[in-house]
Amino acid sequence: MSTVLDPLVIGLLLAAGLMHASWNAILKSDATDRITTFGIIMMSGMVMGVLLAPFLPWIEAPAWKWLLASAVIHLFYYFFLLQAYAHGDLSHTYPIARGMGPLLVALVSGRLLGEALRLQDVAGVLLLSVGVITLALPTRRAPGKATLDAVRRHRLATLFAVLTGFSIAGYIIADGLGVRAAGPTLEHKIAYIAWQNILEGPWLLLFALATRRESVSRYLRGGWWRGAAGGAIAAVGYGIAIWAMSQGPMAHVAALRETSVLFGALMGTLLLGEPFGPRRVAAACVIVAGLVLMNGPRLF
């Protein structure tokens, strides 16, 4: 397996990053019932998986344990992500959560996965992670504006964002190993993606129906299309990421996909009215430098 990703894979991963930031912006912008919105997003992916699965080959037996592990880890991911968005801004929580993933995957990919990273890959991941986390640092407040409640919410948002990052690293590794074990052909990879959507799809919406049936009913009568659109975007974007993990090192794939933080920060600024000052512009440049190191020719 090549240690440098193909340009086509890089382009698709950048598109997947934009897709990921888009559905997260849809989820964050819904202040009425995020659980229902998230449930519709996941159900949309499940519908796509159900439609595809009958026309695809059965995945190999070793892939199922990773598929089930990914489904369980995603349950923790849902909870942590919803809590992070309940306590903090998109431009604060999203970069922390997404920045933890490539760093953690890079730390374990050598010993656990047998993927040998170049020294410049390690430097690139560190640069990317520093840039991503810098994006998440809170903006300075005027004296007297930071209340105890705001400080508490900021700390909780950071905690849940970090926990979200750990869960992201977990499912990246599980799905990376799973898609590689799914079978030799592209159809086997797509089948793994379809089953991944099927197994993860129903749980959030079932929880919402059990706890807030009236709210779900109102949502389905009105803004269901937002969740459905977000679900289609999410399914395609993560499908690209899973397939890419069969084409190159997981650390590279995880790092490139997390360019979504740039899109997320811009969406938070332009669509949700969140700040994006000079410090965050500098952090974006650090992220680009890290990506160039990881996916360029050997320098050292």
- Under DSSP, the state recorded for 184 is S
Two tokens at 56? 């695809």
Interhelix angle 224-244/213-221, rounded to 10 degrees, is 90
**What distance in Å separates the CA atoms of residue 294 and residue 256, rounded to the nearest whole number?**
9
- Which residue matches tokens 């900021």? 154
For residue 143, the model assigns a pLDDT of 47
pLDDT tens digits along 182-229: 999 989 999 999 999 999 989 988 988 888 888 788 877 777 777 888
**What distance in Å separates the CA atoms of residue 259 and residue 16, rounded to the nearest whole number?**
9
pTM, 2 dp: 0.79
Regions of the chain with pLDDT less than 50: 142-143
For residue 4, the model assigns a pLDDT of 62
The alpha carbons of the chain give a radius of gyration, in whole angstroms, of 19
Tell me the three state secondary structure of residue 216: helix
For residue 14, the model assigns a pLDDT of 86
* Cα-based torsion angle of the residue sequence 98, 100, 102, 103 in order, rounded to the nearest 10 degrees: 160
pLDDT tens digits along 94-108: 778 877 777 777 777
For residue 192, the model assigns a pLDDT of 95
